[in-house]
Amino acid sequence: MNTPSLTIKNIALSDAGVYHCGATNLVGSTTSSQSVTLAPPSDVTISEQPSAPVKYASSITFTGSYTSNPLSVIIKWQKLKGSDFIEIDIIGDDKYSGSSDTGPSPKLMINPIRFIDETVYRLVVGNGVGWSLSNFISLNVVRENLTVTTGADVTGRLGGSITIDCTVTGPEVNNIRWIKYINYAPVNITIDGQKFSGGSVSTQALTIHNLINDDAGQYQCTASNAKGVYSSANRARVQVICE
């Protein structure tokens, strides 16, 4: 028995319709028909593991699913940046891995997680008919505190210079700020490179130049990252003495 067939390659929306197959022999002829329906992917969803807020420097995996007819699809993972979704470069960025091609359960892994990864993610699936979007998942990173310690008390001579140390431990420090307490009120110190220097992410210590009597007092170091501002529990007392 012969089993004739028809194969359609590079299927497109115009290929949808009803196809007929006819056969004839000495006795007679007969015809059968088959309907071909094409549609964009459907039931596009994503899930996450772990599903709770994730720890800094850990990893997370998004897993997608979809239904498509035709079966050949294109997979795109996207994240929200500003007000627009941008495509994630799974091949070119080492922190991402997963599926960028056809597969029943496409995956996206982010490792290690940084504060900048805290945004919204989605899966986009397309076939020859159209594109469909998944649900959105927001990635939340657990707050990672900074530990800030102001250095010991310092005594300097009038006209000289002193340096107050500051030690910060924790991820992604983006700002260092020094405070002086005047009459118990905190006043931010402006780092001008002349009277005051340091007080930066790369040089956390504060140096006070050309000491005068008014420089005496209590000083405190603070640091910040994307999750907040953190102050040292202690303060350093500065004394200014004459020769």
| DSSP string over the chain | ---------S--GGG-EEEEEEEE-SS-EEEEEEEE--EEEEEEEEEEES-SPBPTT--EEEEEEEEEESS--EEEEEEEETTEEEE--TTT-TTEEE--S--SS-EEEE-S--GGG-SEEEEEEE-SS-EEE---EE--BPP---EEEE---EEEETTS-EEE-EEEESS---EEEEEEEETTEEEEPP--SSSEEE-SSS--SEEE-S--GGG-EEEEEEEEETTEEEE-S--EEEEEE--
28: Cβ–Cβ under 8 A, 6 or more apart, which residues? none
**53 and 96 both lie in a single domain:** yes
Whether 58 is covered by a domain: the verdict is yes
**90 and 161 both lie in a single domain:** no
pLDDT band at 102 (very low <50, low <70, confident <90, very high): low
Domain boundary among 90, 113, 138: 138
**79 and 127 both lie in a single domain:** yes
**120 and 166 both lie in a single domain:** no
Question: How many domains is the chain built from?
Answer: 2
Whether 18 is covered by a domain: the verdict is no
pLDDT in tens, 127-164: 878 899 999 999 999 988 999 999 999 999 999 999 99
Strand 236-241 vs strand 154-157: parallel, antiparallel, or unpaired? parallel
Phi/psi for 233 (5° steps) reads -75, -20
**46 and 134 both lie in a single domain:** yes
**159 and 130 both lie in a single domain:** no
- Is 198 within 8 Å of 206 (Cβ atoms)? yes
Q: What is the CATH number of the domain that holds 221?
A: 2.60.40.10
Whether 109 is covered by a domain: the verdict is yes
Domain boundary among 113, 138, 163: 138
Q: Cα-Cα-Cα-Cα dihedral of 117, 118, 120, 125, to 10°?
A: 20
Q: Residue 53 is part of which domain span?
A: 41-138
Q: Which pTM value belongs to this model?
A: 0.76
Looking at every residue in the chain, the average pLDDT score rounds to 89
pLDDT in tens, 12-70: 667 767 777 767 777 777 777 777 667 788 899 999 999 878 999 999 999 999 988 77
Please list, residue by residue across 9-31, b when 16 or more beta carbons sit within 10 angstroms of its beta carbon and e when fewer do.
eebeeeeeeeeeeeeeeeeeeee
Whether 25 is covered by a domain: the verdict is no
pLDDT band at 10 (very low <50, low <70, confident <90, very high): low
Domain boundary among 72, 106, 138: 138
